[in-house]
Amino acid sequence: MKLRRALTAVLATALLTPAALLTTPAAAATGTPGVRTELLDLPRTVAVGSGWHGFADLVRNTTNGTLPAVTLSLTGTAPVTVQFFDNAAGGTWHTVDLRKGRFLRYADLMPGEHLSKPMRLKLKAGTRPGSRATLTALATFCDDHGRCGVSAPTSYAIKITAKGTR
């Protein structure tokens, strides 16, 4: 029964959240109370040719109830490749489609509990110094009463520098 509720909540999140974002732009900008997201240790400058840079996507349940369905999303602009580490899939890295955004669904996030997902990024080939990249993290969620919401989006700018600079 608990799994059924969680699956129903995930489906509701997938179907209802985009419509809610289109009809309530103010709510999309400020978020709905329930979860908070942030990117930890994300580099603010990345040098061309410097390889992979690790960081984490953190989501925290700020409600007094269990959230049976939470979906992490990360969108961004070129010129970066972003991957997340999936321990459940045998410890492999998976590329995030920054155009689609959604990359991880999580069930039963308890009150006050947080989830920290290992991530990494690198510059795409041909990236020129002086350009910029932007990543925006957010999470959609449904509570155990079927109410759904979205966290306030958090955006981060990354400055691209010349090879060998910091």
How many domains does the structure of the chain reveal? 1
**Residue at 149 is within a domain:** yes
The pLDDT value recorded for residue 166 is 66
What is each CA distance from 152 to 4, 32, 74, 145, in whole angstroms? 28, 7, 12, 21
Whether residue 166 lies inside any domain: the answer is no
Q: 3-class secondary structure for 82-136?
A: EEEEECCCCCEEEECCCCCCEEEEECCECCCCEEEEEEEEEECCCCCCCCEEEEE
pLDDT of residue 25: 40
Higher-pLDDT residue of 78 and 108 is 108
CATH code, 64: 2.60.40.10
pLDDT tens digits for range 7-25: 333 333 343 344 333 333 4
- pTM as predicted: 0.79
Residue 50 domain-assigned (yes or no):
yes
pLDDT over 60 (residue 86): yes
In a domain, 42, yes or no: yes
48, part of any domain: yes
Question: Domain range for residue 25?
Answer: 2-161
Per-chain mean pLDDT for the chain? 82
State pLDDT tens for residues 25-79: 444 456 778 899 999 999 999 999 999 999 999 999 998 889 999 999 999 987 9
